[in-house]
Amino acid sequence: MARSWWGWGNVEDAVRGAELDALLARARALAPGEPTGHEPPDVASLGIPAARLSPPPSLAALCSADPADRAAHAHGKAFRDVARNLLGDLPHVPDLVARPRAERDVVDLLDWCSGGRVAAIPYGGGSSVVGGIEPRFEDGRPAVTIDLTRLDRVLEVDPVSRAARIQAGVLGPHLEDQLRPHGLTLRHFPQSFEFSTLGGWLATRAGGHFATLATHIDDLVESMRVVTPSGVAESRRLPGSGAGPSPDRLFLGSEGALGIITEAWMRLRERPRWRAKASVRFADYAAAVAATRAVAQSGLHPANCRLLDAAEALVNAGVAVDGGVLVLAFESADHPVRASLERALELCRDHGGETPDEPADSDTASDTWRSSFLRMPYQRDALARHALIVETFETSCTWDGFDRLHRAVTEAARDAIRDVAGNGVVTCRFTHVYPDGPAPYFTVYAPGRWGAMVAQWDGIKTAVSEAIAAHGGTITHHHAVGRDHRPWYDRQRPGPFGAALTAAKAALDPAGVLNPGVLVPAP
Nearer to a copy of itself, 95 or 509 (CB): 509
Which is nearer to a copy of itself, 163 or 313 (by Cβ)?
Answer: 163
Shortest CB 490 distance to a copy of itself, Å: 10
- To the question of whether residue 261 is assigned a binding role by annotation, the answer is yes
How far apart (Å, rounded) are the C-alpha atoms in residues 8 and 5? 8
Please state, in angstroms and rounded to a whole number, the distance separating the CA atoms of residues 427 and 425.
Answer: 7
Does residue 125 have a known ligand-binding role? yes
**419-429 exposure pattern, b = at least 16 Cβ within 10 A, e = fewer:** ebbeebbbbbb
Work out how close the CB of 337 gets to a copy of itself at its nearest, in angstroms, rounded to a whole number. Answer: 9
Cβ pair 237, 265 in contact under 8 A? yes
CB of 398 to a copy of itself, least distance (A): 4
Check the annotation: does 128 bind a ligand.
yes
Residue 19 marked in a binding site: no
Nearer to a copy of itself, 97 or 519 (CB): 519
Q: Which residues contact 479 (CB under 8 A, 6 or more apart)?
A: 129, 130, 204, 393, 394, 485
Check 285, 378, 434, 441 and give the catalytic one: 441
Q: Are strands 269-270 and 184-185 parallel, antiparallel or unpaired?
A: antiparallel
Long-range pairs, 501-508, Cβ under 8 A, ≥24: 504/250, 504/258, 505/257, 505/258, 507/230, 508/228, 508/229, 508/230, 508/258, 508/259
Sign of CA dihedral 8, 439, 320, 363: positive
DSSP 405-417: HHHHHHHHHHHHH
Task: Give dist(CA 261, CA 457) in Å, integer.
Answer: 32
Cβ atoms < 10 Å from Cβ of 193? 20
Residue 22 CB neighbours (<10 A): 11
Are 468 and 409 spatial neighbours (Cβ–Cβ below 8 Å)?
Answer: yes
Return d(Cα 199, Cα 189) in angstroms, integer.
Answer: 14
Q: How far is the CB of 506 from a copy of itself (least distance, A)?
A: 6
Shortest CB 178 distance to a copy of itself, Å: 19
CA gyration radius for the chain?
23
Least Å distance, CB 331 to a copy of itself, is 9
Residue of 399, 306, 293 whose CA lies nearest to 347: 293
In the complex, least distance from residue 16 CB atom to a copy of itself, rounded to whole angstroms? 34
Of 266, 263, 130, nearest to 186 (Cα)? 266
The answer to whether 389 is annotated as binding is no
Sheet containing 304-309: give its strands across.
274-282, 324-332, 304-309, 425-434, 437-447, 388-394
Minimum CB separation of residue 512 from a copy of itself in Å reads 14
Distance CA 164, CA 178 (A): 10
Helix-, strand-, coil-residue percentages of the chain, each rounded to 5: 40, 20, 40
Q: Is 87 a known ligand-binding residue? A: no
- The answer to whether 441 is a known catalytic residue is yes
Instruction: For residue 156, give the amino acid letter.
Output: E
Task: Tell me: is residue 498 an annotated ligand-binding position.
Answer: no
Q: Give the residue with the Cβ less far from a copy of itself, 381 or 509.
A: 509
* Binding site members for substrate: 380
* Binding site members: 122-128, 255-261, 380
* Binding site members for FAD: 122-128, 255-261
| Residues with catalytic function | 441
